Amino acid sequence: MSESPVRTLARAIRDTWRGLGSLRQFPRLIEQAEYLDREVARIRADLRRSAWRQQRTTGLEAQTKASFSFQWEHMPTGRALPSDASFMAGLDEHICRITGLPREWFPGKRVVDVGCGIGRYSYGLLQLGASVTACDQSEAALRRTAELCAPFKDRLTLRRIDLLEWRDEADFDLAFSFGVVHHTGNTYLAVEHVCRKAGPGGRLFLMIYGVPENTPAWREVNEYERLAEEVRHLSLEQRKQLMLDRFGPDAAHGWFDAVSPRINDRLTFEEIQDLLEELGFTNIARTIDARDHHVVAVRRPPVM
């Protein structure tokens, strides 16, 4: 026997009411997610701080360094790299924007580019008139930086370093480090060592990965994490081939860079601010609106 229209209607109303009951959980879930976000950030910050104090690392440094060395040796071209003419054409302006410094500031200044990779920023800083000390753990990176920056070689110094070991104090006008400290295995120690290179009153620029905070950012980072899992057991050569096949020659480098190194730390801006204040920096600010933090600061001169 078929159901009467009245019963059908009653059932539909009951189902809708139950559905609304689940919808009423939404505000609770939103509040809970926000709370958990903060709680995870706090726990991660505590872990980083204790690793810093105890000078601990993750044990994944060798893989991460080898991945970057492979990348610079075998995948040196792609979007936003020296082979990208439009990126290079806008590089000086881009550096002024991310450092918050006018182009007149650079001539004659001494800058250290910590974790220089194949030297795209070293090149731009030299182009702006600075003297540059370009440093990296990777031999291949330094060789390519030397080639790229050959037109400015009188103002270029190259140094092979391991940032976590490089405690020396220096007095550069600008300590610049783009996309490096979050790959070292002890982010706070790496930040401290970059900070030590800025002299009193000297400036600091850091690009540090940010935690995702909105849907496109979660989607992007989840995509990286999924692909990282997929390639986990492949050799570096096999990863390169997969990126080329899947994303093509222009984008392969970017994907390899995002998923092949095992160490990819992500911080909130508030955490970076706390750390830089503790390390004696002031005027801490973000220069551009982006998920990854482009942070500038000034080293406080000593109190007389």
Ligand X SMILES: C[S@@+](CC[C@H](N)C(=O)[O-])C[C@H]1O[C@@H](n2cnc3c(N)ncnc32)[C@H](O)[C@@H]1O
User: Could you give the string, one character per residue 47-86, with x where binding to ligand X holds by CB under 6 A and - elsewhere?
Assistant: ------------------x--x------------------
Taking the least distance from each CB to ligand X, the nearer of 133 and 184 is 184
Kindly identify the residues of this chain, within the stretch 131-150, that bind ligand X according to CB under 6 A: 136-138, 141
Stretch that binds ligand X, among 103-111, 112-120, 124-132, 292-300 (CB under 6 A): 112-120
Between residues 141 and 242, which has the closer beta carbon with respect to ligand X?
Answer: 141
Q: Least Å distance between CB 209 and ligand X? A: 10
Taking CB under 6 A as the binding criterion, the range among 29-37, 113-121, 220-228, 273-281 that sits at the site for ligand X is 113-121
d(CA 294, CA 190): 16
Binning the chain into helix, strand and coil, the percentages to the nearest 5 are: 55, 15, 30
Report the residue number, 116 or 298, with the smaller CB distance to ligand X: 116
Applying CB under 6 A, does 115 fall inside the site for ligand X? yes
CA of residue 111 relative to chain centroid, distance? 20
Pairing outcome for strands 198-208 and 172-178: parallel
d(CA 258, CA 239): 12
Angle, to 10 degrees, between the axis of helix 26-53 and the axis of helix 187-195? 60
- Candidate list 48, 109, 144, 183; residue touching ligand X; CB under 6 A: 183
- Please identify, among the stretches 36-44, 97-105, 114-122, 239-247, the one whose residues bind ligand X according to the rule CB under 6 A: 114-122
Q: At its nearest, how many Å lie between ligand X and the CB of residue 164? A: 5
The CA distance from 227 to 179, in Å, is 20
Longest Cα pair distance anywhere in the chain, in angstroms? Answer: 95
Given the rule CB under 6 A, which residues bind ligand X? 65, 68, 115-117, 120-121, 136-138, 141, 161-164, 178-180, 183-184, 257
